[in-house]
A = this chain, B = another copy of it.
Amino acid sequence: MNADSTPESRERGADGGLSYAGAGVSIAEGDRFVDMIQPLMRRTFGPRVIENPGGFAGMFRLDYNERLFKRNYRDPVLVACADGVGTKVKIATALRKFDTIGIDLVAMNVNDLIVQGAEPLFFLDYIAVNALEPEVQAELVKGVVEGCRQAEAALLGGETAEMPDVYPEGEFDLAGFSVGVVELTRATDPERIEPGDVILGLASSGVHSNGFSLVRQVVEHAALDLNRSYEELECDQTLGEVLLEPTRIYARPIVKVQRGYRVKKVITGMAHITGGGLAGNLQRALHSQVDAVISESNWSAPPIFRFLEKRGGIAPAEMRRVFNMGVGYCLVVRPSFAASIQDKLRRLGEEVFVLGEIVAGSGSVRKIGDSD
């Protein structure tokens, strides 16, 4: 399409369409970029994606009546969110490793979607760079594609913008948008949480995509080397590799567990643990007549958190406010189903902790031993 056009951006869709940059970018480079990413994107398409060559937007069938893939919603609620990965992009740039940060981008979005009870449907990305380097941006898209495959979402489109006057040399930014769907009657309703409900935590894969401004301060002030491994990290990876570990995507296990209990609503609340930490985010799942009581002895923070705390001289309370401390996602479940849900989640590959329980209260998160 428009191989002769001259805008500042390359639009990508389930459409094969594209447009080209005038400001010093060769059409050949743009062509090469699209050639690289189109087959990648297509790897995420399920039967519900409508390919529309030349189209201006991506198309996704919500209801789908074909025999093999029948899906219909009675009262569909679309769930949508936008998120970025913050300054984790700077670690990717420092390591010149660009093929996983897209997983983080998908994770930050779909882990929010599933909190509302939704199954992810599709994803779009926005990549803005100082200068197009097709190999680099294709690596970014590779990560997004991998994230979409993990989340079972279609990469329906995206935009790659080259803005040399906005982004300094070598810098880039990533934003993502995700849409899911949930039956109205199955959407997470915080009012259903009751005293006695059990709080489960799913292990994080590391720092995920929050707190990187603080992480980078620690790296700088303690003169740490991203390319070195440290004994305290208790692994062979370098510090940079540990920090860049992609955010875990919880979509598949959470959607599967929810599908397993079609009639009974056994999950009464959920939370994606991002900035604000466990307390800040779990609190959003509560209503004003219950508290969550957490027993911190039920799991231990992975080495990277103890390392950052020690090397940065960060106060423990600050650590808990900024980082996930090893728990990336929470479920609040009916006590009689807690064991079977744990069991299912473990069989789906998750490490599960029993974090605590719900008691009568006033909408806050407390640690065992805190005064109420």
Listed in ascending order, the chain A residues whose CB lies under 8 Å from chain B are: 1-2, 4-9, 11, 13, 17, 19-23, 50, 52, 54-63, 65, 73-84, 86-87, 89-90, 112-113, 115-116, 118, 121-122, 124-126, 128, 156-159, 161, 163, 165-168, 171-173, 175, 177, 179-181, 184, 187, 190, 210-214, 216, 271-272, 274-277, 279-281, 283-286, 318, 321-322
Given A56-B272, A62-B76, A84-B159, are A322 and B6 neighbors across the interface (CB < 8 Å)?
A: yes
Given A4-B321, A56-B284, are A61 and B75 neighbors across the interface (CB < 8 Å)?
A: yes
Q: Which of B1, B124, B213 contacts A8 (CB 8 A)?
A: B213
Cα A77 to Cα B59 in complex, Å, equals: 6
Verify B56–A115 contact, CB threshold 8 A: yes
Most B CB contacts (10 A, CB to CB) among A167, A275, A322 go to A275
Verify B61–A77 contact, CB threshold 8 A: yes
Residues of B within 8 A of A84 (CB): 9, 126, 128, 159, 161
Residues of B within 8 A of A90 (CB): 165-166
Verify B321–A165 contact, CB threshold 8 A: no
Most B CB contacts (10 A, CB to CB) among A17, A19, A55 go to A55
Verify A284–B11 contact, CB threshold 8 A: no
Q: Which of B21, B50, B112, B212 contacts A57 (CB 8 A)?
A: B112
| Minimum C-beta distance from A132 to chain B (A) | 13
Given A80-B124, A322-B22, are A4 and B276 neighbors across the interface (CB < 8 Å)?
A: yes
Given A19-B275, A280-B4, are A59 and B82 neighbors across the interface (CB < 8 Å)?
A: no
Most B CB contacts (10 A, CB to CB) among A65, A73, A125, A161 go to A161
| Minimum C-beta distance from A95 to chain B (A) | 15
Verify A175–B190 contact, CB threshold 8 A: no
Most B CB contacts (10 A, CB to CB) among A82, A116, A283 go to A82
Residues of B within 8 A of A158 (CB): 82
Q: Which of B76, B82, B211 contacts A124 (CB 8 A)?
A: B82
Residues of B within 8 A of A322 (CB): 5-7, 22
Residues of B within 8 A of A78 (CB): 59-62, 78, 121-122, 179
Cα A216 to Cα B165 in complex, Å, equals: 10
Given A167-B167, A175-B126, are A184 and B2 neighbors across the interface (CB < 8 Å)?
A: no
| Minimum C-beta distance from A26 to chain B (A) | 15
Selected A-B contacts with CB under 8 Å, 10 pairs: A1-B284, A2-B275, A2-B284, A6-B318, A7-B211, A84-B159, A84-B161, A124-B177, A166-B167, A167-B173
Verify A175–B128 contact, CB threshold 8 A: yes
Q: Which of B57, B213, B214 contacts A79 (CB 8 A)?
A: B57
| Minimum C-beta distance from A76 to chain B (A) | 4
* Those 6 A-B pairs whose CB atoms lie nearest each other, nearest first: A7-B275, A5-B276, A177-B177, A2-B276, A2-B280, A57-B81
Cα A78 to Cα B62 in complex, Å, equals: 6
Q: Which of B6, B55, B60, B214 contacts A321 (CB 8 A)?
A: B6
Q: Which of B20, B56, B167 contacts A112 (CB 8 A)?
A: B56
Q: Which residue of B lies closest to A112 (CB)?
A: B56
Cα A171 to Cα B75 in complex, Å, equals: 43
Cα A97 to Cα B164 in complex, Å, equals: 21
Residues of B within 8 A of A4 (CB): 276, 279-280, 321
